[in-house]
Structures are given as structure tokens and as C-alpha cells.
Amino acid sequence: MEYKTINLTDARPGMQVALDVCTANGSVLLAAGAVLSMDTLAALARRGVGQLQIAESLSPEQRAERAAAFEQRLAVLFRHAGDDPLLGKLREIVRDYRLGGL
């Protein structure tokens, strides 16, 4: 999942949180995937939260562009892999993991 970090003052109801919002000691205040409401924003402000990671939606063109760029990066990273089946499987796993979030 792609996300951007914004100040709490810029957050609006309806936005989706991309990462857990935690206290300094690691307690989760708001789980990833939660949709912000006015009450939630007020509660986060009372707890001193300054920034949030908000899910960023990508157009199909942006997804394709990022996927192509990542495939090029994989080609460089695995350029010496040759026909090694284990490295081929590793490349496949890395690709699926990274592109699964797009």
C-alpha cells in the first residue's frame, strides 16, 4: 500500500490510515485501515498525535508505471542470477510481495 505522511491538521474525515497510529510506548491508538471521522481526529489531537500515514490511491497508469520501474530494479538486483532456480524463486517472491501492495 502506498501512503503519504500528513500533519494531523491536514487530515479529513473519510481518509484511510495506512499504518497503525501508536503511542510512544507502542500501544495502538488506531489500527491501519481505519477510516478517519471527526471524533477520531479530535481524539488523536487530544493524545498529541502530530502526523498520520494516509493511504494514497493510485490510478491504473500510476500502478503500471511503478510496477514497470520495480521490474527494472529487480532486473538489476538479480542480473547475476542466471538460471539458478532458488534465485528465480526468490525474485518471484520479492516481486509478488512488493507489487501486491500496488
Same domain? For 67 and 80 the reply is yes
Could you tell me which of 58, 78, 70 has the C-alpha nearest to residue 96?
A: 70
* Structure confidence by residue, pLDDT tens digits, 39-95: 999 999 999 999 999 988 778 888 888 889 999 999 999 999 999 999 999 999 998
Number of domains in the chain: 2
Same domain? For 47 and 67 the reply is no
Contact present, 52 and 6 (Cβ < 8 Å): yes
Whole domain around residue 9: which residue ranges?
A: 3-55
Same domain? For 23 and 65 the reply is no
Model confidence at 10: pLDDT above 90? yes
In this prediction, residue 100 has a pLDDT band, given cuts at 50, 70 and 90, of confident
Same domain? For 8 and 50 the reply is yes
Give the global pTM. 0.58
pLDDT value at residue 76: 94
What CATH number is associated with residue 25?
3.90.105.10
